[in-house]
Amino acid sequence: MTKELQDGPLSGLQVVELGSFIAGPFCGQLLADLGAQVIKVEPPGTGDTMRQWGQQKSSNGLSLWWPIIGRNKLSVTIDLRVPEGQALARDLISQADVLVENFRPGTLESWNLAPETLRLDNPGLVIARVSGYGQTGPYNMKAGFAAAAEAAAGLRHLTGYPDRIPTRVGISIGDSLAGLHAALGVLAALVARPARDGRGQIVDAAITESVLSVMESVISECAVTGAVRARTGPILPKIAPSNLYPTQDGTYAIIAANGDGLFKRLVAAMGQPELAVDPRYATHIARGERQAELDELISAWTITKPIVEIVALMDQHGVPAGPVNDAAAVLRDPHFRERAALVETETAEGVRVTMQGVAPKFSDTPARVRWAGPSLGQHTDEVLLEQLRLGPDRVAALRAGGVI
């Protein structure tokens, strides 16, 4: 069963993925990218909602998000709402190392797939449960889309400009963070399994807590001093210079030179080395006090040069800088191509797709995009016949009954 195509550091790991949308399937994508065999269970006829999502579609009307979040997975259709489908899922899970699900808490239990039941047949099973607010607590039964979770955890409050309403990041960052934390939890639980006599455990990954985990010192600052950090647009207050600066060709350059040594190199590149010893700008604290004034000074220089020249000067002087790339610029960037951070593959429907590659890179067990997201139910017969060892007549009967 496509085992010859398995490679990567998680080769040999067996995962069953339930659920839909982003957070749970992104966890499954990460595990599949690293070489695990991920069997994605989808509802017959409709499949994962991600098969329809995405702002733009391919020429034949298919989602361009699904090939990414479904990549490297096997697609099996099973109706989890009927007893026969639940029994098939239990059989699959009994052979797995990991189960990933992102239903509202209590849904697995209502389908006779409660963790305690599953672990009777498979004590080593690691179960990643991804939800908006976690499996416990007063909010656990609230609907948990990332937008609400990001707002609840304080991220939305910090995103945007101080004189405007909070904005979203531009991607479903809360879902992605939850999927990433769930995958991290799965790997930690697998490492812990031998010391627990081979027993698995539940990994409870909440979107809210995944967002909280990347909030740096925002919460502790408030707890200790009462200070509530506010939206600041493209800058961090008192951290200067670090901003977007206008260029001659109507774009922006990001320049981050807030360290003393970096600032010296920046002003040398600007042909104004005297600014490095000017008391108004010579220290981190002084630059922070005159942040707006310093940004205006740098902008007056950058606006006279095209972005290519600015970046070349910054590179020459060792100052972190670059363009603000849109998707088209990312696609043209040779660095991403050289490192296989962008790869081309073909969907089951024959559509050529360029997508982000696998991160991180491994020196000895390289992970890769082995195939794009499969068509709905593409591997149902293969999995039921080869892995569950059902007979062809039984598979045909299940399909006729709408179970698969």
Residue 311 tokens read as 């970046």
Q: What are phi and psi of 162, to 5 degrees?
A: -65, -25
Strand, helix or coil at 116? helix
- Our measurement of the distance from residue 79's CA atom to the centroid of its chain's CA atoms, rounded to an integer in Å, reads 27
CA distances from 261 to 175, 292, 293, 318 (A): 38, 20, 20, 10
Residue 96 tokens read as 């797995």
Residue 50 tokens read as 């991600």
Catalytic residues: 175
DSSP state of 83: H
Closest CA to 183 of 385, 351, 342, 360: 360
CB neighbour list of residue 372: distance below 8 Å, 6 or more residues apart: 67, 68, 70, 71, 345, 346, 347, 348, 353, 355
